[in-house]
Amino acid sequence: MTPAHRATGPDRADGPHQPASPGTLWRALLARLLLPLLLIVAATGALGVYTAQRLTDRTFDRWLIDAARSLAHQVRLIDGRAMVDLGGEAEDILAYDVVDKTYFSVRQHGQHVAGHRDIPAEGEHISRYDDGLVFDATFAGHPVRVAAVTVGQGEAQAQVLVAETLIKRRGVRVDLQLMLIPLGLLLLIAAAAIVLALRWTIQPLERIAAQWNERSHASLQTIDLHGVPGELMPFATALNDLLTRIHQLLLRERRFAANAAHQIRTPLAGLQLGLARAADAPDLPQARAVIAELQGSTQRTARLLQQLLALGRLDPEAAFDLGAAPTDLVALAHDVGALYLDAALARGIDLALETPVDTVQATVQPALVSEALGNLVDNALRYCPAGATVEIRVLSDPPTLQVDDSGPGLPPDEREAVLERFVRGRGAGGDGSGLGLAIVREIAELHRATLTLGDSPLGGLSVRLAFVGGVLPTAPGSSPPAA
């Protein structure tokens, strides 16, 4: 394929010109089409000439044998001796050929009886027929083709030889070889047609390459599919899908960066003001009181940063090996519940673990699932008032982690929205950031698990994480994110 002209967009850095690769599609197609065509035409021409020449030689040989048999009818065997009285009949039989010279000879027991004495009785390139044989020889200084026919039997046998020069045969061979010229012209025409057809066929590829090269490196605009052949449509569509996914991913990351900056700016500003208040405090007790307030703000900021880092690692578009292994969800839920027990006691919330069975096995990445369950428990503790109940449940069919609470719950029309990053319910209080459920959703996507928000039998919200599909396929050689 001829490389398309590379236009330099406003944002494209000039670089060294990339020469066309020797292994281009253009050359590969030419080689795969023209070489077989050349071989087929060459083989067809050679086989045709060889076959026609064989048929011509057999025809000429047949004529020589017929001429020899006609002369053989004039041979008489009297008392075992060959007697020939041809007169002018031999000349009448042979003289009609005005191109080649024809000679004959009759012999018996190696002795000359009639005709020319020195016609060879044997030679090369022998062709045997039912009524005689034909061979190549030299007579009178010229190459000839000789037909030999036997008359009589036993001691009375005689041999009739007819020799002919090769002028007609050679002329026919030249004519047959000249027939290859039109075949060669047809080969050239076919090759030109193939080249033009290939040029026309690869134009859509060149157009796609031109569209791609004319853009700046930052452009993710999809390729125009108008006029793309059906065979190239899967390629072009896949390329457009890739560009769309990259564009969406970049938009998502930009939104994430903007929202993260907004979320971090507020607590950092609060910390700065708190530090200024502590510095301006008139005495040590007031400074300590301000610092105690700052400790709570610092903990919330640390939690926010932890969630932001978790979201940065948990990108479903990035393929990595989860390191999934058979895991006991009952033991995992027990460990996570123990981590949040002090926080529940501090808030006056009853935190319980309900496991109908002793063990529930699931193939998951334990650290990520612990992170997901921890976010669900943390959310429940943050939005439930004192005196509420939060229950962690482990179900076995399918393997499921479920967190129920007796808090204010969440209206059904808001449940899908709160799964997005930085989105909180309209009536949400507390100090949440709107990242917990987004982290849980992305961990669920990585495990092909089902995440469901519903009404809890305790009166609040129920969040159910069911592992029904198995983990996503991953890229070889990649590593899991740290939880």
If you search the block for the tokens 């609060």, which residue do you land on? 270
Q: Residue 134 has which token pair?
A: 């034909």
What is the reported pLDDT for 15?
A: 43
Looking at 3.30.2010.20, 3.30.420.40, 3.30.565.10, 3.40.50.300, the CATH number of the domain 325-466 comes to 3.30.565.10
The per-residue DSSP string of 339-376 comes to HTHHHHHHHT-EEEEE-SSS--EEEE-HHHHHHHHHHH
Sign of the dihedral through C-alpha 325, 328, 329, 331: negative
Q: What is the pLDDT of residues 373-385, one digit of tens each?
A: 988 998 899 889 9
- Predicted pLDDT at 19: 45
Determine contact, residues 128/119, Cβ cutoff 8 Å.
no
Class of domain 47-178: alpha beta
Contact 129, 58 (CB under 8 A): no
Q: Give how far the C-alpha of residue 279 lies from the chain's centroid of Cα atoms, to the nearest Å.
A: 66
CATH 3.30.565.10 domain locations along the chain? 325-466
Which of these, 443, 364, 454, lies nearest to 402 by C-alpha position? Answer: 454
pLDDT, mean of residues 211-238: 74
pLDDT at 136 over 90: yes
In the chain, the amino acid numbered 449 is: A
Mean pLDDT, the chain, whole residue set: 80
Q: Is the pLDDT of residue 109 over 90?
A: no
Which structure tokens are listed for 293? 């307030």
What percentage of the chain reaches a pLDDT higher than 90? Answer: 23
Tokens of 455: 């009404």
Ranked by mean pLDDT, which of 18-27, 163-172, 204-213, 227-236 comes out on top?
163-172
CA 435/CA 418 separation, integer angstroms: 9
**3-state SS, residue 131:** coil
Amino acid, single-letter form, for residue 382 = R
Reported as a pLDDT band with limits 50, 70 and 90, residue 353 is very high
Take residue 239 and report the two structure tokens written for it: 């390329």
d(CA 274, CA 167): 119
pLDDT score of 381:
92
Given this model, what pLDDT does residue 106 score?
A: 86
Lowest model confidence (mean pLDDT) among 76-80, 304-308, 329-333: 304-308
Backbone torsions φ then ψ of 454, nearest 5 degrees? -150, -170
pLDDT digits (tens, 9 = 90+) for 61-82: 999 998 888 888 877 777 667 7
- Residue range(s) in the chain whose domain bears CATH number 1.10.287: 233-313
| CATH numeric code, 233-313 | 1.10.287
- DSSP letter (8 states) at residue 137: E
Lowest mean pLDDT among 28-42, 207-221, 308-322, 392-406: 308-322
The token pair at 114 is 């009639």
**Within the chain, which residue ranges are assigned CATH 3.30.450?**
47-178
388 backbone dihedrals φ, ψ, rounded to 5°: -80, 170
Q: Coil, strand or helix: which one is 82?
A: strand
What are 426-449's pLDDT values in tens digits?
655 555 567 778 888 888 988 889
The full DSSP string for 371-426 is HHHHHHHHHHHHHSPTT-EEEEEEEETTEEEEEEE-S----GGGTTGGGSTT---T
Chain Cα centroid distance, residue 439: 35
